[in-house]
C-alpha cells in the first residue's frame, strides 16, 4: 500500500444510474443497511416524496446499477477535482493515494464500484455501527502518513472512543488539514471548490516524496494562504 494516504469525504450529491451490475469493493465491511432503511426524514434531510424515494433507494442497494466511486460522487469538491480530465499520471496518483470515507460503504478506493444511496454520516446509530472498524482497517494498511481532508462529522468516524487503543498503537503519523484564508482564518467560502482544485494540482504533480508533499500542501496561492496541519491521531 502507499506510504501516504489522503482521506476524502463523499458528497451528498451523487450521480444516478451506472453501467455496472455488481458492486466491486476493496474492503469487506459490513453495511449499515438496517440503519439506512429505517432512518428518519430528519436524518436523511428530506421529507415527503423525496424521503420515500431515499428509503427505496437504500432498500435497493446491491440490486441497482453501479459505477465507480469517483464517478458516483459529483458534489462541488469532486466537480472541481475534475477527475475525468486529469492526465493519466494524475489519475494513477489519485487512485493510489486517495481513499473516500462513506457512511454506507466504510472505506472506498476511487475505482470501487458502488450503488447510489443516501445516508448522511450523522444518521442516528451510524457512528456506533462503525465504531473502530474503519480505523482498524486503516491501521492494517500500514501507511507512514495519513492526511485527512475530512470535515468534522467524518473525522469522528476515526477519532472516537471505540478506536482509542488502536490509535495509540499507530506507528505512523496522522495529520488533519485546515484550509486557511489570507488572514489566517479557517476558510469557509468556496472551501469545497478550492479543496478540489488543490487535490487536482497535487494529483498532476504526482509527488512521491513526503517532504516535497508537505511543502506543497503548505504552499500559498492566490486563493489559499496556507494549510494548517493539525496532528489528530
Summarize pLDDT for 178-191 with one digit per residue, the tens: 777 666 677 666 78
Among residues 78, 72, 62, 54, which one has the least CA distance to residue 17? 72
Task: Please state, in angstroms and rounded to a whole number, the distance separating the CA atoms of residues 100 and 146.
Answer: 13
pLDDT at residue 1, as a whole number: 55
Task: Please state, in angstroms and rounded to a whole number, the distance separating the CA atoms of residues 227 and 208.
Answer: 19
State yes or no: pLDDT of 228 exceeds 90: no
pLDDT at residue 178, as a whole number: 78
Q: What is the mean pLDDT of residues 86-91?
A: 98
Q: Grade residue 225 by pLDDT with cuts at 50, 70 and 90.
A: very low
Q: Give the alpha-carbon dihedral of 9, 228, 209, 166, to 10 degrees.
A: -60
Task: Please state, in angstroms and rounded to a whole number, the distance separating the CA atoms of residues 229 and 75.
Answer: 25
Among residues 205, 177, 220, 15, which one has the least CA distance to residue 97? 205
| Beta partners for residue 101, in sequence order | 107
Task: Please state, in angstroms and rounded to a whole number, the distance separating the CA atoms of residues 163 and 188.
Answer: 29
Task: Please state, in angstroms and rounded to a whole number, the distance separating the CA atoms of residues 233 and 213.
Answer: 20
pLDDT at residue 97, as a whole number: 97
pLDDT at residue 121, as a whole number: 95
What mean pLDDT, rounded, does the chain reach? 90
Report which of residues 100 and 3 the model is more confident about. 100
The 8-class DSSP code of residue 26 comes to: S
The long-range contacts involving 119-122, CB below 8 angstroms and separated by at least 24 positions, are 119/32, 119/35, 119/36, 119/39, 119/44, 119/58, 120/12, 120/43, 120/44, 120/45, 121/9, 121/153, 121/154, 121/156, 121/157, 122/43, 122/153
pLDDT at residue 111, as a whole number: 98
State yes or no: pLDDT of 112 exceeds 60: yes
Q: What is the mean pLDDT of residues 108-133?
A: 97
- pLDDT > 70 fraction of the chain, expressed in percent and rounded: 90
pLDDT digits (tens, 9 = 90+) for 137-170: 999 999 999 999 999 999 999 888 888 888 888 8
pLDDT at residue 181, as a whole number: 67
Q: Is 107:134 a contact under the CB 8 Å cutoff?
A: yes
Amino acid at each position: 500500500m502507499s506510504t501516504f494516504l489522503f482521506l476524502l469525504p463523499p458528497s451528498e450529491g451523487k450521480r444516478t444510474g451506472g453501467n455496472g451490475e455488481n458492486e466491486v469493493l476493496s474492503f469487506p465491511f459490513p453495511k449499515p443497511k438496517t440503519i439506512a432503511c429505517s432512518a428518519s426524514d430528519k436524518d436523511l434531510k428530506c421529507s415527503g416524496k423525496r424521503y420515500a424515494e431515499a428509503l427505496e433507494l437504500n432498500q435497493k442497494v446491491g440490486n441497482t446499477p453501479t459505477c465507480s466511486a469517483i464517478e458516483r460522487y459529483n458534489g462541488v469538491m469532486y466537480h472541481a477535482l475534475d477527475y475525468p480530465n486529469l492526465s493519466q499520471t494524475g489519475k494513477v496518483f489519485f487512485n493510489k493515494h486517495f481513499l473516500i470515507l462513506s457512511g454506507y460503504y466504510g472505506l472506498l478506493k476511487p475505482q470501487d464500484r458502488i450503488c447510489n444511496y443516501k445516508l448522511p454520516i450523522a444518521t442516528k446509530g451510524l457512528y456506533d455501527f462503525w465504531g473502530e472498524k474503519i480505523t482498524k482497517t486503516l491501521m492494517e494498511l500500514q501507511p507512514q502518513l495519513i492526511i485527512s481532508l475530512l470535515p468534522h462529522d467524518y473525522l469522528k468516524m476515526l477519532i472516537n472512543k471505540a478506536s482509542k487503543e488502536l490509535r495509540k498503537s499507530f506507528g505512523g503519523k496522522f495529520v488533519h488539514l485546515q484550509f486557511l484564508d489570507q488572514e489566517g482564518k479557517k476558510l469557509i467560502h468556496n472551501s469545497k471548490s478550492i479543496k478540489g482544485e488543490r487535490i487536482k494540482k497535487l494529483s498532476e504533480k504526482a509527488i512521491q516524496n513526503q517532504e516535497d508533499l508537505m511543502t506543497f500542501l503548505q504552499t500559498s496561492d492566490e486563493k489559499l494562504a496556507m494549510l494548517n496541519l493539525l496532528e489528530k491521531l
